[in-house]
Amino acid sequence: MKTYKKLGFSNEETQELVDHLNKLLANYQVHYQKLRNFHWNIEGPDFFELHEQFEIEYDAVKAQIDEIAERIRVFGANPISTMQGYLDVAEIEEVTEEVSSKEMVEEILRDYEILLSFLVDVITVAQKLDDSATEDMMTEYAKRTEQRHWMFTAFSKN
């Protein structure tokens, strides 16, 4: 694998950060597609509320995906950019069968927990490298993810 020296970080430091960002990116991409799937296929009494919430989520995630990929480019590296590449790396898994609205929310909650673990990994590496730009970006994503986790958890109590 290529290594890159950018922004004053060594090749090894840059590669470590890019590897973590790519893992995060892959998980966000699978999460994004899952949100689209759920948005399109939600049925039942929760339709109007969840249809809208899934759209809010995939719009936010789409922007985050772009920012993560561009951050990887800042370091002179290439982001993973194929579906197979995402599926090979991501811990978040596709949902291939029909699921209820309750199961959709449970899936999203699991995804948030996985995303948060990868966000913390990137934050840890960024802190180690004194990369405040990446750290700040990931901290904002973590705050939003925690808030949305709380909201979907509250919704699932009905």
Pair of tokens at residue 99: 């699921």
**pLDDT score, position 11:** 83
pLDDT tens digits along 27-59:
999 999 999 999 999 999 999 999 999 999 999
Please tell me the distance from the alpha carbon of residue 65 to that of residue 141, in angstroms, as a whole number: 11
The stretch 54-76 carries a mean pLDDT of 97
Instruction: Examine the pLDDT at 148 and tell me if it is beyond 60.
Output: yes
Domains in the chain, please, with CATH? 11-156 (1.20.1260.10)
- The mean predicted confidence, pLDDT, of the chain is 94
Q: What whole-number percentage of the chain has pLDDT above 90?
A: 89
State whether the Cα torsion 117-123-126-127 is positive or negative: negative
Going along the chain, which residue ranges are E strands?
none
50-57 long-range contacts, CB within 8 A, separation 24+: 50/101, 50/104, 50/105, 53/152, 53/155, 54/104, 57/108, 57/148
